[in-house]
Structure 1
Amino acid sequence: MTAEHEIAHVANVELLTPEFDRSLWFFTEVMGLTEVGSEGDSVYLRTWDDYERHTLKLTAHHTSGLRRMALRASSQAALDRRVEAVEAAGLGVGWRDGDPGIGPTYVFRDPDGHELEIYWESEWYQAPPELAPSLKNQAQAYPARGVCVRRLDHVNYLAAEVEGSADFVREVLGGRPTEQILLDSGTIGARWLSFTNKSYDLVYTRDWTGSNGRLHHIAFATDTREDILRAADIFLDKGVHIETGPHKHAIQQTFFLYVYEPGGNRIELCNPVARLILAPDWKTITWTEAERAKGQAWGLKTIESFHTHGTPPVG
């Protein structure tokens, strides 16, 4: 059976930080996430429009980076089939008890070494009275705190070799490649993949250091472009380092702003929250190295750190 549509969406991420208290301040007071629990060295946080219990697991660690990205399967049967496919590919780690609110979870790695997990059983969030929304089709009242990001949008991995991991996501997990960069050498410099009708959920970008398993950024969606412009003022007032933006990407046409959270991880705010890919026979858009060198659709040229900074840092 085809793997397509057996992954429902990117569900949550576990982010590592060596500056736990400052990172927690950033995500709660600046980004506007809500704390929903803690366990050991970790705190669970949620965006206001997430239907599940948590969106981000923030964990104190000696360095930065992404420990794990979680995917929710579209059914129990889909979970079983994807686990079987991962094991056949030889990249399975094994089953574990899920985080609070999540059922049995299967952990595995992509060919570059990034750790992922997949699950089906999930506890839908029930807001306490003080966070209850007026609209019953909304999980939580709008917090009106900081940037107030709406949801987790996508994850961008760095990889020593893009094509192998991107092919794994396509063949084993059912991700559709929607756009890519083809370098003059004939290798793939980056590839964008989608599990849904969004234009992308997961990105692999070539790591210039040749390292494995690193993170380029995680991205949160805002309601409007104006939210991103306001966020730039908030980041300025709060002393958050703005790396680049707001500008508009040519690839995927995303309006964006990139910052570093206090632990050193790159965070993107994005809008539109992704174009919709409705064509069942969508053909991957390929950008050449020369086209990519032209920079953004509009805005300032991409700065050097965007191509060199990743987490965890390497020597």
Structure 2
Amino acid sequence: MSFNAILLEKEATTGFVSSLKSVSKQQLLAQQGDTLIQVAYSSINYKDALALTNKSPVVRQWPMVPGIDGVGCVVECASGRYQKGEQVILNGWGCGETHWGCLSQYAYLKSDWLIPLPNNLTPYQAMVIGTAGYTAALCVERIVDFGIKPHHGMVLVTGASGGVGSVAISLLARLGYQVTASTSKIDEAHYLQKLGAVNVIDSQTLKEAGKPLQKEQWSAVVDAVGSHTLANACAQTQYGGIVACCGLAQGMDLPATVAPFILRGVTLAGVDSVMASYDKRVSAWQLLSQQLDAQILANIGQTVTLNECVEVANNMIAGQIKGRYVVDVNK
């Protein structure tokens, strides 16, 4: 059996190459796993874009099939955890970095990495959500569990036009929070308002160095940007508020002071989606399946083929995309 997959290769003579290739089942089963999945859809996340363009050392083993997200049907499961035909979701666990991922028609994975597809989501909808949306749900749950209520004040979402931001806005709005969206794409304000944002601000106002303490504006923050944006968000968070940090689109540095944390009691909460526990994953996906409606997902998602992934990745790195890109691996 052979099938199509995007293969990333790096050789001393040819350098980095990303191409659509025919891959054998034997090559796939050389990966460490116990569950063979026939993939229906994958998606393109920022980490995938870095791998597809080789803009950052995301890939740790060569050759590599990228794709940190996938949804599909179980073909066989040696552990017995899943039955043939069950629909499952993969997010993270080093896929696309140290283990072949899901920008492929088949994937060979560990059953411990998988969760069942919620009954009220289609496979396509699950990949509109993907790791970006699942990460957003983890951030929102962190804010809710911290005790921030809608009446406590405005919630800021940075990187609002991206996948994490788009889903975070939708979830927060459905839960009754007032959301301010920060974006570099001010012409996309209508898109963000349709998702539930009540205010849209230019992200440039957060991107430069600011004062250690600034006017208190946010009861909570979902930040996918990092660097000065995260530092300013912390400096603007209300007394006792929380900043859920999950990304580094602007940079992985944090040019901040301790002032917001020791003078206002602000909590900076790191949110990891790659190695989150099974229970956290299931809880986040249940929140997503219950609170995101089909029309919102339709507004966020666009469908591309395996052949189009590199072009989308380049546009994503250049900051020229909005929403989520779902990959139909069978086209």
The TM-score with structure 2 as length reference comes to: 0.25
Structure richer in strand, relative to its length: 1
- Answer with 1 or 2: which has the greater Rg: 2
Give TM-score, length-normalised by structure 1: 0.25
Q: Which has the higher helix share?
A: 2
